[in-house]
Chains A and B, each alone.
With several copies, the nearest count.
Chain A
């Protein structure tokens, strides 16, 4: 399930809901991305989405991960709008029979979200605001998946 929300969400409640009632999935991996304060240099993140396009594109990524890694289930929650340091930006959860598939699918989805999800991130700080773009490391991470 893909959720875009402009409200703060509770990662723990999401994990409890996602993992409840699974008696055949031995493995649930999750990743939680938090807004960093950068020691005061980042006072807020602003995440811009184009909801009618962003949600379906993320859904395509999630379905690709589901097939490639034989997932039992997958969920992505992404904040949009203004996000304070320490708040959750993104959460990916994957359920599979065994841990390797769950880990790899979670890793894969995060790499795609970082560089291929239609979202635009602006960092606000004492010196002004700047648009954040994928780093060389983000692009190298994405290349690991061979597409």
Chain B
């Protein structure tokens, strides 16, 4: 099982903030494939400019291995201040 978290407009697009996926996909790429099947609107939004992914609270670029229990967050462009 892995947990997936969404922030900002990604949450509005998907209609959820957090979900658990079982069985765990083996990689970030596999997770994205699964998202494309289940939530095509979210999948499109994830491909937009400036969307970043974090695995276990560390930003990742490209693909990453997902261990069981991993926490994956997808974050649209950040805007503090």
Instruction: Report A-B touching, CB under 8 Å.
Output: yes
Q: Which of B9, B54, B78 contacts A119 (CB 8 A)?
A: B78
The smallest beta-carbon distance between A90 and chain B, in angstroms, is: 5
Number of B positions contacting A (CB below 8 A): 16
The smallest beta-carbon distance between B12 and chain A, in angstroms, is: 8
Residues of A within 8 A of B75 (CB): 50, 118, 120
Residues of B within 8 A of A113 (CB): 80-81
CB contacts under 8 Å to A, within B54-81, are 54, 57, 73, 75-81
Complex Cα distance, B33 from A46, in Å, reads 31
Judge whether B81 and A120 touch: CB under 8 Å: no
Complex Cα distance, B7 from A120, in Å, reads 7
| Interface SS, A side | mixed
Residues of B within 8 A of A105 (CB): none
Residues of B within 8 A of A13 (CB): none
Judge whether B9 and A131 touch: CB under 8 Å: yes
Residues of B within 8 A of A120 (CB): 7-9, 75-76, 78-79
Residues of A within 8 A of B (CB): 33, 47-48, 50, 52-53, 56, 58, 78, 89-90, 99, 110, 113-122, 131-134
Given contacts A53-B54, A99-B81, 6 further A-B contacts (CB under 8 A): A50-B7, A114-B81, A122-B8, A131-B76, A132-B79, A133-B79
Residues of B within 8 A of A (CB): 5, 7-9, 12, 50, 54, 57, 73, 75-81
